[in-house]
Amino acid sequence: MALTADQIIAAQKANIDTLFGLTTKAFEGMEKLIELNVTASKAALSEAAGTAHAVLGAKDAQELLALQASMMQPMAEKTAAYSRHLYDIAQGTSAEFTKAFESKAVEAQQAMVGLIDSAAKNAPAGSETAVAMMKSAVAAANNAFESVQKAVKQASDVAEANFNAVSTQAMNAAKTATKTATAKR
């Protein structure tokens, strides 16, 4: 099966469209990240001003300790929310890239199978063994690719579960610390 100039041009156009589509998705992810950081920075600045006023208004060490204790849990919650939002942005952007990669991989696999089938039809007599080996190699490569995809998905699921567990533990630790500090007053 010989590729025509029109087929090559069409393939290149599709590759360019994919490249620009992925670049757009990357910029969208960066925009979301920048927006998250600007919002978090504004909130932190506002909270820092409020905290500074509260600290300056403390009458004694006891009130200062109570103020510090009351800020621990909200700070942990905000940190966990920020981390979760950051993780969601990364996951969303990564999912777009993965989807595009898988789509292109399927196209490449189909093209390879088409080339092998075409070569098999036009192969001289006695080359059945070579054609069978090529088909076997392509099948093995496809199986390996699917295995890698499954392993990456499993690793991603484990990472997300670990992230959620760490976030929950941090929140619980902050709640416990706040309760302990409040009880000591």
Report if residue 107 sits inside a domain.
yes
* In-domain check, residue 167: yes
Segments forming the whole domain that contains residue 142: 7-183
Residue 2 covered by a domain: no
| Residue 61 maps to a domain | yes
Where the chain has pLDDT below 50, the residues are: 1
Q: Assess if residue 170 is contained within a domain.
A: yes
CA angle 180, 182, 185 (to 5 degrees): 110
Q: Exposed, middle or buried, 96 (CB in 10 Å: 0-12/13-18/19+)? A: middle
165: in domain: yes
Buried b (16+ CB within 10 A) or exposed e, 26-64: eeebeebeeeeeeebeeeeeeeeeeeeeeeeeeeeeeee
Residue percentage of the chain with pLDDT more than 90? 17
What confidence score (pLDDT) does residue 181 get? 60
What is residue 168's predicted lDDT score, i.e. its pLDDT? 77
pTM: 0.62
Specify the pLDDT at position 3: 62
pLDDT digits (tens, 9 = 90+) for 26-42: 999 999 999 999 999 99
Number of structural domains (the chain) is 1
